[in-house]
A and B are shown apart, each in its own frame.
Chain A
């Protein structure tokens, strides 16, 4: 029985058959010529046929797709057999004897460059042209098209890593679980899996060799993948199906066994998410990502557009806390009107609150819109800035909030300097919220997206836990009992959630899917036990040991299959 070990990033036990995500299409070598057996006319005919086939397939998929995915598919279908694209390629074939694959590659590259140079909206469409190009080359080579395979029967998707764009075509009714050979605990695959409630294992080296149709068992808590599962594993998967049902509901009251209250809040990205989170009994919103309002746009949304977008979220939580994070652009979330995509080191660049240094005004207008949206709603609106590094920045942000009429300013603690100086920072604002994904990447100097660094990139790292402890200590030293919450992926891990509570964190905010599991586990421990587990985790020599030692003290995790 062959098995693979990776990092479990989303719990669940499941048995299913494998579909490999086709590899990205490689570039045909520069200067590749037509094979001597093929005439230029035949190559042109083959190219037109391939383009037509890609167009037909995209058109068919657009019929069943919904939302943003549908319009992207419709637009790319139009581009696939576009005369400008094809004529440019045919010219290369006829005049230079270039191979069909290389010809379409170059023709699409020059079209994409023209669009890119136009900037703004057109620049964003250049990636669609490159996607169409990959599909046409795959068709010419007779290999599967890139992207998530289209299928009517459920399967376990095995890939190198998923990109945010893959979410549009990922159907959670068909994809049973995600397994990747690359990526880390904070990768897009992990975030997508948690949001969709799909069991997932990342950084499982070797899984790319499993052939399509092979039956495998995936344990998203243990991080294991087994080929040809035995009877015990099939039974475990069946048992999980039952557990998943009982774990589906959170009663809306985050509390330890001895009655210590820990409000469990939701991370949301818009009104639709907020309505879902409210239905899942979230006790408020601990992180409203406002990027949704700004992404896919070439200019800043208007005051009115912003008000409508924020009010949709506030209205879902009358009488409850909603923490709004101001625009967090840059690094993996570039915005054409705000961030510079050519920075050599975007994660350390002008991102988050720092965009106010280079594009002043956007943040001020956003705060005004948040204040206007808060007026007349029953939500308790808090506002926080991402990527704060110093107490001065915190003070400046608090002053901007006051000017806008927002009375509850706070900061994200995701830069280690903010954790280390939490006392002075909290002297300037009313609360802190730990963004553990970025805090981990900066504390460990390890890029979130890199598979080989997955072991470094986990919030179980004792150094990260220490920074969280320091932030809580900073709040205590400040003396006004200013709340410290966690709104990173760490809060969604039921075992780590217990440790965070033991470290003195006041609230936990997570994807709505995780509320029930975290609530159920929290319910079984007392505050004193949580504190003891926090001490164990802090003293562990490494992240693996910290996790293993804490989990060993929480047998309820195994009972629930978490």
Chain B
């Protein structure tokens, strides 16, 4: 099992637009990726390809989340996903 932490960079948190970008990126992978708040039990982790899961996680700006995946290429995949979460997508506009 690969595991990475990421700090949410979007100023309003993981809301619709950043969540959509992230969910799209997860959906394009051939891996099952989960996301949970740092410190939460691993069983509470949610499907990272679901925009509604991401939104209901309620992760705010500056909060730390844990990404987990298993299988070939998991390390590289998580690395790229961390980069997405640590980008402020609201600053692009």
- The reply on B80 being an interface residue by CB < 8 A is no
Stretch at the interface among A78-86, A348-356, A444-452: A78-86
The reply to whether B20 and A84 form a contact with Cβ atoms under 8 Å apart is no
- The reply on B58 being an interface residue by CB < 8 A is yes
Which among A78, A83, A114, A121 is the interface contact of B12 at CB below 8 angstroms? A121
Per-residue CB proximity of A73-94 to B under 8 Å, as 1/0? 0110011001111010000000
- The reply on A379 being an interface residue by CB < 8 A is no
- The reply on A24 being an interface residue by CB < 8 A is no
- A sample of 17 inter-chain contacts (CB < 8 A) reads A74-B20, A75-B51, A82-B51, A82-B53, A83-B53, A84-B50, A84-B52, A84-B53, A85-B52, A114-B56, A115-B55, A118-B55, A118-B58, A122-B15, A122-B55, A122-B58, A125-B16
Q: Separation in Å of the A90 CB from the closest CB of chain B?
A: 13
Provide the bound-state CA to CA distance between A111 and B51, in Å. 11
**Which residues of A are found within 8 Å of B56, using beta-carbon distances?**
84, 111, 114-115, 118, 122
B12, B46, B51, most chain A CB atoms within 10 A: B51
Within 8 A of A (CB), among B6-62: 12, 15-16, 20, 23, 46-47, 49-53, 55-56, 58
With A114-B56, A122-B58 already in contact, the answer to whether A75 and B20 are too (CB < 8 A) is: yes
Q: Separation in Å of the A132 CB from the closest CB of chain B?
A: 10
**Which residues of B are found within 8 Å of A74, using beta-carbon distances?**
20
Chain B residue nearest to A121 in the complex (CB): B15
**Which residues of A are found within 8 Å of B52, using beta-carbon distances?**
79, 82, 84-85, 111, 115, 129
The reply to whether B20 and A78 form a contact with Cβ atoms under 8 Å apart is yes
**Which residues of B are found within 8 Å of A79, using beta-carbon distances?**
51-52
**Which residues of A are found within 8 Å of B50, using beta-carbon distances?**
82-85
Q: Separation in Å of the B67 CB from the closest CB of chain A?
A: 16
Provide the bound-state CA to CA distance between A115 and B56, in Å. 6
**Which residues of A are found within 8 Å of B16, using beta-carbon distances?**
75, 121, 125
Within 8 A of B (CB), among A48-100: 74-75, 78-79, 82-85, 87
What 8 pairs between A and B have smallest CB-CB spacing?
Answer: A84-B50, A83-B50, A114-B56, A84-B52, A84-B53, A82-B52, A118-B58, A78-B51
The reply to whether A84 and B47 form a contact with Cβ atoms under 8 Å apart is yes
Q: Separation in Å of the A89 CB from the closest CB of chain B?
A: 12
Chain A residue nearest to B16 in the complex (CB): A75
**Which residues of A are found within 8 Å of B49, using beta-carbon distances?**
83
Provide the bound-state CA to CA distance between A115 and B54, in Å. 11
Provide the bound-state CA to CA distance between A298 and B53, in Å. 21
Chain B residue nearest to A72 in the complex (CB): B16
**Which residues of B are found within 8 Å of A129, using beta-carbon distances?**
52
Within 8 A of B (CB), among A104-133: 111, 114-115, 118, 121-122, 125, 129
Which among B47, B55, B58 is the interface contact of A83 at CB below 8 angstroms? B47
Q: Separation in Å of the B35 CB from the closest CB of chain A?
A: 12
Q: Separation in Å of the B27 CB from the closest CB of chain A?
A: 9
Chain A residue nearest to B56 in the complex (CB): A114
Provide the bound-state CA to CA distance between A84 and B51, in Å. 8
Provide the bound-state CA to CA distance between A79 and B23, in Å. 11
B20, B47, B50, B53, most chain A CB atoms within 10 A: B50
Chain A residue nearest to B15 in the complex (CB): A121
Provide the bound-state CA to CA distance between A82 and B56, in Å. 13
B16, B23, B47, B51, most chain A CB atoms within 10 A: B16
Q: Separation in Å of the B12 CB from the closest CB of chain A?
A: 7
Chain B residue nearest to A128 in the complex (CB): B16
